[in-house]
């Protein structure tokens, strides 16, 4: 089990990025949250199986229906196990 703190840059706000990310995370069994930041990026914290987290990051970076991600920052952190599901944070 792993934990990733991810920042997505590009056209990621106002394009259903968070809702699509949550849907994909739920399908993959990844827990955590996703939220918009004031600087126009989207932040996500993801916990779960390393392979599933990597799949979610790749999907969000390149397969979002409307969003256009220009770069992705991934920082691996210590697992906390604090999440029971994946939610959209406001």
Q: Which of 11, 18, 39, 68 is catalytic?
A: 18
Check if the beta carbon of residue 33 is closer than 8 Å to that of residue 83: yes
DSSP state of 66: S
For the question of residue 18 being annotated catalytic, the response is yes
Q: Which of 11, 35, 36, 54 is catalytic?
A: 36
Check if the beta carbon of residue 75 is closer than 8 Å to that of residue 14: no
Task: Catalogue the active-site residues.
Answer: 18, 36
């Amino acid at each position: 089990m792993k934990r990733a703190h991810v920042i997505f840059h590009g056209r990621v706000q106002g394009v259903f990025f968070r809702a699509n990310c949550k849907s994909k995370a739920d399908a993959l069994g990844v827990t955590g949250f996703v939220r918009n930041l004031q600087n126009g990026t989207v932040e996500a914290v993801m916990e779960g199986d390393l392979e599933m987290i990597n799949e979610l990051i790749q999907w969000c970076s390149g397969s979002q229906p409307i969003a256009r991600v220009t770069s992705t920052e991934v920082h691996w952190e210590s697992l906390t196990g604090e999440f029971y599901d994946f939610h959209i944070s406001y």
